[in-house]
């Protein structure tokens, strides 16, 4: 076997992470995240669930063909149709893997699968053996492993390894375990399964009790050599173990854990920002590693200590994870060269066209703000991460609103170099403007979620609006940026409409 100190990072942001309520990524958005995960240096990218939908299949296939470096895998149930579809999606990868799963707990066997233990064992072995005919790298996950009978689970693991599984994943699927118990569970299974050294043991923990990272660490201490996690901890229900927290725990306490990972630490923050932007899931300010407050100190005694010696209250460097502490400002008189240099300092290498677009946006913001901070610049660039063409763009907005009048909005949109105008009323200025947009586009959305964030401080702060808009029964994420919160809100709504239009266009092209 390979070096026992080497730990493999399996990222499931694009599969389990996308199953977060309200999250829906298109093919190009998934590809953008996959490229960034490769830059970060994860070992395995779980790109999706190929049989779930044509869109998921297309995303996995595109990532497999284009993203180099990490292993690319797709999830499939323990049946031949699923396995066929997954292999079709991942076979173009530089390093493909088939990841098949079957529940092993009595709860799942009885109520979900309605199978006996013996029947499930046959299905698991057959699935792994069948997948092995396609691919030398096969992972088997025992769903709800932490609530499974240990004797039965050990038999399943022994047999699927015999059938060819190279990775055995033991998930705490419902986030029920606690660290000491989960660590003992991993240790016990490693002792019970005679051929366990022929496979890599993996853990996949959920955060229902807020213990996903702690349980994952307990698994690592007790012999797990792969850990499955997601950027910002997103995922089903309360989410998965947080990728950035796992990485930095291993780095900060490397002498304690004695595990080796191969990641580019300064890509952590940018990866977090990209995933937050494209999924519409904002990162809480007090989130470990990547939260806005993670490296801020307000208490006087803390500030005094950090100024004298940083290690008094900081156990890691913000620069290490890609957080730039320098916050010198640019203004409306700053030139293109200074702007390019600052973007480079922040880690953004823009090509000529991207730089041109970003500089125009910067000048527009600089005309409205006295000072443009690093936070503003990062928001500006991530706002440009638009994986869909901008068919509808806002060119004019006028609002009439007050406490004793009906809110009215006049909107002009540019569509293929032509301008269209409409006016409407609503319950508030944003509602009125969105109704006007509906009239022009003939696309009608319903707002399910709305988040307003101040990107930087001050009365002229740049506002970021993230919304979840339902159109034709599906949720689309929208994002808007402006010093005017109403304008940012309308831009967010239009962004969601653009995403809907682009998806419809793709479906029409696929059917033609």
Q: Which of the four pLDDT bands, split at 50, 70 and 90, describes residue 377?
A: confident
pLDDT for res 325: 60
Q: Nearest CA to 361 among 495, 482, 494, 489? A: 482
Q: Would you say residue 460 has pLDDT above 80? A: no
Q: How would you write 212-234 as a 3-class SS string?
A: HHHHHHHHHHCCCCEEEEEHHHC
d(CA 478, CA 499) in angstroms, rounded, equals 8
DSSP 471: E
End-to-end CA distance of the chain: 50
d(CA 333, CA 249) in angstroms, rounded, equals 43
The structure's pTM equals 0.84
**Where do we find the tokens 């999606």?**
89
Bridge partners of 355, per DSSP, are: none
Highest mean pLDDT among 23-32, 292-301, 328-337, 437-446: 437-446
Homologous superfamily of domain range 8-279:
Aldolase class I (3.20.20.70)
d(CA 312, CA 80) in angstroms, rounded, equals 57
> What tokens were used for 501?
């239009």
More confident residue, 330 or 158: 158
Distance of CA 90 to the CA centre of its chain: 20
Q: Would you say residue 293 has pLDDT above 90? A: no
Q: What is the CA angle 436-442-447, rounded to 5?
A: 65
Q: Which residues lie closer than 8 Å to 163 by C-beta, 6 or more apart? A: 125, 128, 129, 132
pLDDT for res 269: 93
Q: Which of the four pLDDT bands, split at 50, 70 and 90, describes residue 24?
A: confident
Least confident span in 322-326, 393-397, 491-495: 322-326
Burial of 233 (0-12, 13-18, 19+ CB in 10 A): buried
d(CA 290, CA 458) in angstroms, rounded, equals 22
Q: Which of the four pLDDT bands, split at 50, 70 and 90, describes residue 1?
A: very low
Domain boundaries, the chain: 8-279, 300-383, 392-511
Handedness of CA 140, 42, 51, 164 (dihedral sign): negative
DSSP 418: E
d(CA 322, CA 320) in angstroms, rounded, equals 6
102-160, pLDDT tens digit by residue? 999 999 999 999 999 999 999 999 999 999 999 999 999 999 999 999 999 999 999 99
Q: Nearest CA to 133 among 194, 91, 74, 169? A: 91
Query: For the domain with range 392-511, which CATH number is right: 3.40.50.9100, 3.30.160.270, 3.30.530.20, 3.30.230.10?
Result: 3.30.160.270
d(CA 488, CA 506) in angstroms, rounded, equals 27
Q: Which of the four pLDDT bands, split at 50, 70 and 90, describes residue 332?
A: confident
d(CA 82, CA 52) in angstroms, rounded, equals 9
């Amino acid at each position: 076997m390979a070096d026992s100190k080497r730990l493999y990072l399996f990222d499931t942001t694009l599969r389990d992470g996308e199953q977060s309520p309200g999250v829906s990524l298109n093919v190009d958005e998934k590809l953008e995240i996959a490229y960034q995960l490769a830059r970060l240096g994860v070992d395995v990218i779980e790109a999706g669930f190929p049989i779930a939908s044509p869109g998921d299949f297309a995303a996995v296939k595109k990532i497999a063909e284009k993203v180099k470096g990490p292993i690319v895998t797709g999830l499939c149930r323990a049946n031949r149709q699923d396995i066929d579809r997954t292999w079709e999606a991942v076979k173009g990868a530089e390093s493909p893997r088939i990841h098949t799963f079957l529940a092993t707990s009595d709860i799942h066997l009885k109520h979900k699968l309605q199978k006996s233990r013996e029947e499930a064992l046959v299905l698991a072995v057959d699935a792994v053996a069948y997948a092995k005919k396609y691919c030398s790298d096969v992972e088997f996950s025992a769903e709800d492993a932490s609530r499974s009978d240990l004797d039965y689970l050990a038999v399943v693991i022994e047999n699927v390894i015999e059938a060819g599984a190279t990775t055995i994943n033991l998930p705490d699927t419902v986030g029920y375990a606690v660290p000491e118990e989960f660590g003992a569970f991993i240790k016990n299974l490693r002792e019970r399964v005679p051929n366990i050294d022929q496979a890599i043991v993996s853990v996949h923990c959920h955060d229902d009790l807020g213990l996903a990272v702690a349980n994952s660490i307990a698994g690592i201490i007790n012999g797990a050599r792969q850990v499955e996690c997601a950027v910002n901890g997103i995922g089903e229900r309360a989410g998965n173990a947080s990728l950035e927290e796992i990485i930095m725990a291993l780095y900060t306490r490397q002498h304690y854990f004695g595990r080796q990972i191969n990641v580019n630490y300064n890509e952590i923050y940018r990866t977090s920002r990209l995933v937050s932007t494209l999924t519409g899931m904002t990162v809480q300010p007090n989130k470990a590693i990547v939260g806005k407050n993670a490296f801020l100190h307000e208490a006087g005694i803390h500030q005094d200590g950090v100024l004298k010696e940083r290690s008094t209250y900081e156990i890691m460097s913000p620069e290490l994870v890609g957080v730039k502490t320098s916050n010198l400002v640019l203004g409306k008189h700053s030139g293109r060269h200074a702007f390019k240099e600052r973007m480079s300092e922040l880690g953004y290498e823009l090509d000529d066209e991207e730089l041109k677009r970003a500089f125009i946006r910067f000048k527009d913001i600089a005309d409205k703000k006295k000072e443009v901070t690093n936070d503003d610049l990062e928001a500006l660039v991530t706002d440009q991460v638009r994986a869909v063409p901008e068919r509808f763009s806002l060119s004019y907005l006028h609002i009439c609103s007050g406490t004793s009048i009906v809110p009215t909005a006049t909107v002009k949109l540019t569509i293929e170099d032509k301008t269209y105008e409409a006016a409407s009323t609503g319950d508030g200025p944003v509602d009125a403007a969105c109704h006007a947009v509906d009239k022009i586009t003939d696309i009608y959305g319903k707002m399910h979620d709305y988040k307003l964030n101040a990107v930087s401080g001050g009365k002229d702060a740049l506002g970021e609006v993230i919304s979840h808009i339902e159109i034709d029964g599906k949720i689309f994420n929208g994002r808007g940026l402006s010093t005017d919160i109403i304008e940012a809100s309308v831009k967010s709504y239009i962004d969601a409409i653009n995403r809907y239009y682009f998806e419809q266009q793709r479906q029409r092209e696929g059917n033609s």
